[in-house]
Amino acid sequence: MFAKPQHEHQWLDPLIGQWKIEHECQEPDGKISTTLGVMNCRSLGGMWLICESSGESSEAELWSSIMTLGYDPQRKQYVGTFVGSMMTNIWHYQGVVDESGKRLPLESEGPAFDGSGRCKYRDTIEILDNENWLFTSELQADDGKWRQFMAGKHTRT
C-alpha cells in the first residue's frame, strides 16, 4: 500500500544537504536587492524533498521559507509548494525535467507584482554539479514573454 520512490524521485537527491544561498532580485522599480541565507534540504522517505531556508535581505529584513518537491507518477510531473514569511501566497508547483536532465522548470500562478491580478510564474532548479545549483524565478509578461526577476546560487557547505 505504501508508495515506493521511483527514478524521478532520485533526481531530487543531489539537492539534499546544507547550502549557503545568495539571491539577487530585481524589484518592479528596477532596484536590485541581495539576499543571503542558508538552506537545509532533507528527504522525507525518499518521496519528498523538504527545503527550509532563512536569511536576511539587503534591507536587514529577516525571512524564512519552506519548499516541498516530489514526483507524482499519475500526473507524470514534479509537484510541490513554496511558502515564505515575506508573502501571503502559497505557490503550487508543477513541472518536468527538461531534455538536458539538469533543469527542472516549475510553473505556478500567483499575484502580479503590481497588484493588478494574477500572472504565471516559473521557478527553475538547475543542478550544476554536486556542490552548486541555481534557482531562478521568472514571470510571464502581458506580451507572453518570460522575464527573469530573481537569480540565486546555492553552494554546499
Evaluate whether 56 touches 67 at the Cβ level (below 8 Å): no
User: How far is the C-alpha of 132 from the C-alpha of 57, rounded, in Å?
Assistant: 21
At residue 144, the pLDDT reads: 93
Sequence spans of domains, the chain: 7-156
pTM score: 0.94
Q: For the chain, what is the mean pLDDT?
A: 95
Evaluate whether 136 touches 125 at the Cβ level (below 8 Å): no
The secondary structure of residue 89, as a DSSP letter, is: P
At residue 29, the pLDDT reads: 81
At residue 50, the pLDDT reads: 98
Is 3.40.50.150 the CATH classification of the domain at 7-156? no
**Cα–Cα separations (whole angstroms), residue 8 to 45, 70, 78, 84:** 14, 9, 8, 26
Residues of the chain with pLDDT under 70: 1
At residue 41, the pLDDT reads: 98
In the numeric block, the cell 536532465 is attached to 101
- CA angle 21/89/153 to nearest 5° reads 15
At residue 114, the pLDDT reads: 78
At residue 115, the pLDDT reads: 79
At residue 113, the pLDDT reads: 80
Helix ranges (DSSP H) in the chain: 7-10
At residue 61, the pLDDT reads: 87
